[in-house]
Structure 1
């Protein structure tokens, strides 16, 4: 369970960094792309023993998988940005966090993981907790019909990312290659993101500042470990993948909400407190289902 806790901690730090972006005027797109290269570099220097490891990446059975994941990382980010502009941050938060339903149900129905009363109840409560914890207005969320496609795509894309990582980790990535695999995903995402920046440069819209570079560095380190520790948690004996994904998402919601109160003086609505209580209960139920 230590890897799961470290993954939750890393993802929660990401939440703090994103909150600081707004405060310091960091260009999110540029910082995200720089973050991919930083995350890739952290993995390469920390877990790769020789240049031979880099040379063999294209020949690995999971190579096409990381290309798909890299493209998904950039695509989902841009869709999240569009959703934020059109429907608000709460909509993005709900769509992203409720996407845990996709890898959970894939784990149950594709990998034949257990399906008991405690797990079903815990997963349902987890989804309700995510929704209630993410809504920051008394009216809840409101989405215009013409904008509904964007949060839907964010939901599907985020769920597909988790499910793809789980699939590759289960069938193609050896234990010794977890670091190489994690780094390569970010490397591909960084390359694709660079193409976007080149396009902006030709249009005269590119202006890279030290502030954006610093933002990318601050994000890249915890971002790498959020994926690395999640993959290691999925390999932990005694816990099914559907349980790990549920505990991971709910744990991030719980930890980020608490940090929002402590660090950013957020004032929670009654529904947010109910969401926190349900999050704790869902963690107990899902963990007990094992």
Structure 2
């Protein structure tokens, strides 16, 4: 269980770092670039993934390249969402992306649509309605809802691509490591173009911030994998605890540490999100 708690903590700390980045004059795009350099290096060093396995003829290169593009893109979207809509609503939107992933599993991957899963899906959609409502006193909340929807859809896209890669028989650790490295190369190219155009300068703050972000990003994945290995007979419990834990801790940090305002609709959506995640997880277990 300690692995699971550490994974929850790292996931929420990623949102906290994205929230603090503008205050610390950290260039988000630069930080995300160095994040993938650090995450890729740590994956190669600590996990020793077999990249040779990616040479197999059935390797889904289109899905891998799309994932490498989607990963940094959703990080940029999440950073914007955290800034405009807050940690509380952004973390809930991220975790409720499982609704779209579940719908994709029904439509494209042949998963059975049980009563429990459909009930969780319905509750989750109601939760999204609540989460999208703007707190009355929020100054920038009106501009936050499109970014919340983008977070919701973006993380679902990543889940679908990961499932597509897994179904092709490619190791998830190998594919993620490769995508980290491709994402770093793509983002570094973007930063060089920005520098040549005079839009930014490379700076130590963004480098350090990106290093911390990469360590947290990698640790979140590592601890989540270790939790599944330690509790291999209870995957639904791991899934539910991870998602509910991020929603609960994210809400606590956002409200207590950053004074984020929430409306009654937001709080109702938060409660429904927890229930929906639990219902889906235990329906999957059954």
**TM-score band, normalised by shorter chain:** 0.7 to 0.9
2: CA distance, partners of 1:70 / 1:38: 15
Summarize the alignment of residues 1-290 of structure 1 with structure 2, pairs less than 5 Å apart: 6-48=6-48, 53=50, 56=52, 59-60=55-56, 61-77=59-75, 88-89=84-85, 93=90, 96=94, 98-133=96-131, 135=133, 137-138=135-136, 142=142, 155-174=152-171, 178-228=172-222, 236=232, 239=235, 248-289=242-283, 290=285
1: CA distance, partners of 2:72 / 2:270: 30
- TM-superposed CA distance for 1:23, in Å, is 2.7
Deviations 1:221-246 (A, max 9, x none): 12123345556778855657xx9877
- TM-superposed CA distance for 1:121, in Å, is 2.0
1: CA distance, partners of 2:263 / 2:150: 28
Q: Which structure 2 segments of 5+ residues have no match?
A: none
Counterpart secondary structure, 2:70: helix
- TM-superposed CA distance for 1:189, in Å, is 0.5
Counterpart secondary structure, 2:23: helix
Residues 285, 225 of structure 1: alpha-carbon distance in 2 compared, 3 angstrom cutoff: same
Q: Bigger shift: 56-65 or 272-281?
A: 56-65
Residues 22, 206 of structure 1: alpha-carbon distance in 2 compared, 3 angstrom cutoff: closer
TM-score norm. by structure 2 comes to: 0.76
2: CA distance, partners of 1:3 / 1:107: 27
TM-score norm. by structure 1 comes to: 0.75
Q: Which structure 1 segments of 5+ residues have no match?
A: none
CA RMSD, Structure 1 to Structure 2 (Å) = 3.8
Residues 20, 251 of structure 1: alpha-carbon distance in 2 compared, 3 angstrom cutoff: same
- TM-superposed CA distance for 1:45, in Å, is 0.9
2: CA distance, partners of 1:102 / 1:284: 16
Checking the alignment, whether the CA contact within 8 Å between 2:124 and 2:272 is kept in structure 1 is yes
Aligned residues between the structures: 276
